[in-house]
Structure 1
């Protein structure tokens, strides 16, 4: 049998005591969501700049939805930024 090691970050909120975990996969997902949100914001800004001259076709370009990106440094329950982080290693058989 081979042992597999999983490394996670354990976060504990000092405000309410909530505990949550995340790993590298979660961090990469958050980075991708931030890039998507930035793309949507830039697209909407481009549409707004096209409309400065009052061009009619730009009115028919739909706005991109704002993407809500989860912040791993903020407690999901109470919104506190007083979070203590520690690296936890799990050995799984």
Structure 2
């Protein structure tokens, strides 16, 4: 059932990898409607992770925080890649 979903994910990432700009793909685990808890974890792969979900507000907060840091750095001439350049990050709550 999920085979096509993962094949599509792989095609999306392959298309982005050839872009010469800095990029970061943020992929949440299963989204839930629970209130945000006290921590969030961004990992480059899901090795050793079994299940899990993350509150929607966490995902939004993570993306806004990363973009805010990036824009602020660009305005001062500093270079800060978004959560580490050119990778996929999985968000765990």
Query: With structure 1 as the length reference, what TM-score do the two structures score?
Result: 0.32
Higher RCO, 1 vs 2 (CA within 8 Å, ≥6 residues apart): 1
Q: Which has the larger radius of gyration?
A: 1
The structure whose residues are more often strand, as a share, is: 1
Give me the TM-score of the superposition, normalised by structure 2.
0.32
